[in-house]
A and B are shown apart, each in its own frame.
Chain A
Amino acid sequence: GQSLEQPSEVTAVEGAIVQINCTYQTSGFYGLSWYQQHDGGAPTFLSYNALDGLEETGRFSSFLSRSDSYGYLLLQELQMKDSASYFCAVRGHTGGFKTIFGAGTRLFVKA
């Protein structure tokens, strides 16, 4: 089957850098995605890694190590509006190409 593990909560101060880790188990791995969800809102796509390495998009970066079944989301220059839940999601192949989401990491940004 497929499973993901990520910390349930992270707290950081405004302007700081925070890293949210994700480890996964899947067969036929295709890629790891990250989504942000504010309270009461829909998940919104942040990044997708299919190959090892770092992908940078503005203040957010995402890293993947396929050999370690591990990835992380790096948020720089934290702002209050970054307070949200962050989900890693793995696209694997266990009889299909569905995407499985982790339980999410709730990020609290303090002033």
Chain B
Amino acid sequence: DTGVSQNPRHKITKRGQNVTFRCDPISEHNRLYWYRQTLGQGPEFLTYFQNEAQLEKSRLLSDRFSAERPKGSFSTLEIQRTEQGDSAMYLCASSLVTESSYEQYFGPGTRLTVT
């Protein structure tokens, strides 16, 4: 399977702990995105990378959130000092941007529960 993969699929943590999620995009895709989705809402933009460069980070994202994409391949999203409000599905997507298309391919997500 050459789709986007995310690990872990589920994570339960206690408030105050740090968590890290991993995303492996489709290999030839140059853009990688992180979104957060809560029940009944659309994916909320967090950040995106073009190759290894982080080009934009949502203003809604506190400094407890950090993302990296070393060597322009896989990416990690870390949340420090988790809070109950961080409970959500964290989605990763990748794309190969052309002038005629902007299709993003989503991974299955990591569901985070903060207790």
Residues in chain A within 8 A of chain B (CB atoms): 30-31, 33, 41-45, 48, 50, 87, 89, 91, 95-104
Question: Majority SS of interface residues in chain B?
Answer: loop
Known: A45-B104, A97-B56. 8 other contacts (CB 8 A): A31-B102, A33-B103, A41-B108, A42-B106, A98-B45, A99-B102, A101-B43, A103-B41
B62 within 8 A of A: no
15 contacts between A and B (CB under 8 A): A33-B104, A41-B108, A42-B109, A43-B91, A45-B104, A48-B102, A50-B100, A87-B43, A97-B55, A97-B56, A98-B48, A99-B45, A101-B43, A102-B42, A104-B40
Contact A42 B41 (CB under 8 A): no
Q: How large is the interface on B (under 10, 10 to 19, 20 to 34, 35 or more residues)?
A: 20 to 34
Q: A48-B102, A99-B33 are in contact. Are A43 and B56 (CB under 8 A)?
A: no
Q: Is the CB of A104 within 8 A of B102?
A: no
Which residues of B lie under 8 Å from residue A101 when comparing CB positions? Answer: 35, 42-45
